[in-house]
Structure 1
Amino acid sequence: MTWKYAVLLPLLVASSVSAALGAASTARAERAVDVDPAVKDALDTMIQDEYEAEVIYRRVLHDFGEIRPFSNIVWAEQRHSAAIAALYRARGLPVPASRFSPENVPAYGSVREACAAALEDELENIALYDRYLERALPDDVRAAFEYNRRASLEHHVPAFRRCVARR
């Protein structure tokens, strides 16, 4: 190999890689621009709703110790927000940070009070998903929303109802 190729080949490879990465970034940016504002609104609303539930349940665990159903459902809330975060990434959008912290969510005087509030929050969560599922949504968004809604309806609501009944 002559010196010209030895010098030029790495430059050509680096240039090709840079161009490919730039094209990928441009494609992500173009996808982000093309996101339907109604879909973006749905993603924004639902990820913040899932974040809020997680922080509230963590606050309950902090205040009352590792109690069920909060100790189980807090992990489900993380999975719910992670599923929505994946929808942002698939569209080349930044995943928003949570607006919630233990300081700006409610504290409860008893476990029963926390369970009753969590039950109401889960029912409101289901109603939010219902509202968005009435709309035309991309298949991946619909699937994630249906999964999260079903988990709340079939698992979280019954668990919090049992919690209220036994306390």
Structure 2
Amino acid sequence: MGPLYTSKDTALETTPPVQETTSQEPATTQPIDHNVDIDPAPLTDTDKSLSLEGYGAKGALADKNLTINDMLMYAVQDEYLAHGEYLAIVDKFGSQKPYTNIISAEETHLAYLKEVYLAYGLDFPADESAGHIVVPANLLEAAETGVQAEIDNIAMYELFLTYDLPENVFEVFSALKSGSDRHLRAFQKQVDRLK
């Protein structure tokens, strides 16, 4: 195993500390919750193969033959999708919490995934989420959409974590699931407030 570093190290400065809040909570800096080995054992050819069955969390949950590369791609797609949907909600309804905070967190989630791609020498995927974004009609629907998106995202990471994963991938998926747990609570509070 090669050297480990956290996002605070200078080896890769793509991941700032996460600031996640809801309208009822003060801003807090989340601790760095993952380590990435910058020189991991290489992925096998099987682990590097890509055969997607759909897009994002819904695609991952329907896919019965997941490789490590499939999981990474589905994770990136779902994080891009959440980022794009929450940006579209802010564009339509103005700057609203928790969307503004969670947009920043989604950027951090993508940076975590980029660390893993870089560690394995894989090209980081481009954002192709635009064709999958649906903008809700009102703020209640937006909050409900956020709840469902985070439920699907959490289920995806829970599924991935049942596999025998390299430590880098396990650490990042665990950190991303924890972030989505926080996002789900924030969106559920928003739904409760708007009903």
TM score, norm. by length of structure 1: 0.77
Change beyond 3 A, Cα 1:35–1:143:
farther
Q: For 1:126 and 1:43, how far apart are their aligned partners in 2?
A: 14
Residue of structure 1 in register with 2:9 after alignment: none
Query: Segments of 4+ in structure 1 off by > 3 A?
Result: 31-35
Q: For 2:121 and 2:83, how far apart are their aligned partners in 1?
A: 25
Equivalenced residues, count: 137
- 1:36 aligns to what SS in structure 2? helix
Say whether the 8 Å CA contact 1:32–1:92 is kept in structure 2: no
The amino acid across from 2:82 in the alignment is A
| Greater Rg by CA | 1
Q: What are structure 2's unaligned runs of at least 5 residues?
A: 1-38, 49-66
Larger proportion of helix: 1
- 1:83 aligns to what SS in structure 2? helix
Percent of aligned pairs with the same amino acid? 32
Q: For 1:166 and 1:44, how far apart are their aligned partners in 2?
A: 34
Residue of structure 1 in register with 2:136 after alignment: 108
Larger proportion of strand: 2
Q: What are structure 1's unaligned runs of at least 5 residues?
A: 1-27
TM score, norm. by length of structure 2: 0.66
Say whether the 8 Å CA contact 2:81–2:132 is kept in structure 1: no
Change beyond 3 A, Cα 1:133–1:75:
same
Residue of structure 1 in register with 2:114 after alignment: 85
- 1:68 aligns to what SS in structure 2? coil
Of 43, 57, 72, the match for 2:72: 43
The amino acid across from 2:78 in the alignment is D
The answer to whether the aligner puts 1:145 opposite 2:173 as a matched pair is: yes
